[in-house]
Amino acid sequence: MSATAQDADRPGHGDRLGFKPDMVVQELGWDEDVDDALREAIEDRIGSEMVDGDYGEVVDGVVLWWREDDGDLADALMDSLQDLVEGGTVWLLTPKVGRPGYVDNGDIAEAAPIAGLSTTTTASAGPDWAATKLSTHKR
């Protein structure tokens, strides 16, 4: 079993991101390099598949996979809010330091407030991905 699969099988891995059963989670930025074990853990936790960017209805949370060469991060973060319920959370998943596509934390810190988001938590999301929890500013 790979380290990623072992991580995903540990109790709480899917809910470590705060997702609960029956939540609707939108996944943006999917590509061949994403961590499939993490995706499966999230889907196991919510009890259904994540929806894509064409869903068009309100979602409880967003998982945004992002790499350095994917474009303008602030724009992508603003787009991630389009279907997000008020008070919902965006989990920005970026490659870890030394991995292809690594995104500097300074870039995240600069882009988040432009999109109206605050960085609240950062954590490991497997062997190759880091997770940054972004929340809307409290009014």
Average pLDDT over residues 6-12: 45
pLDDT band per the 50, 70, 90 thresholds, residue 129: very high
Q: Is the pTM of this model over 0.85?
A: yes
Name the DSSP class of 139.
Answer: -
Is-contact 35 4, C-beta < 8 A?
Answer: yes
Nearest to 83, CA basis, from 64, 101, 59? 59
Q: Which residues contact 78 (CB under 8 A, 6 or more apart)?
A: 114, 115, 116
Phi, psi at 5, each rounded to 5° = -65, -40
Identify which has the larger pLDDT, 103 or 137. 103
pLDDT reported for residue 126: 86
Alpha helices in 24-88 (DSSP H): 36-46, 73-80
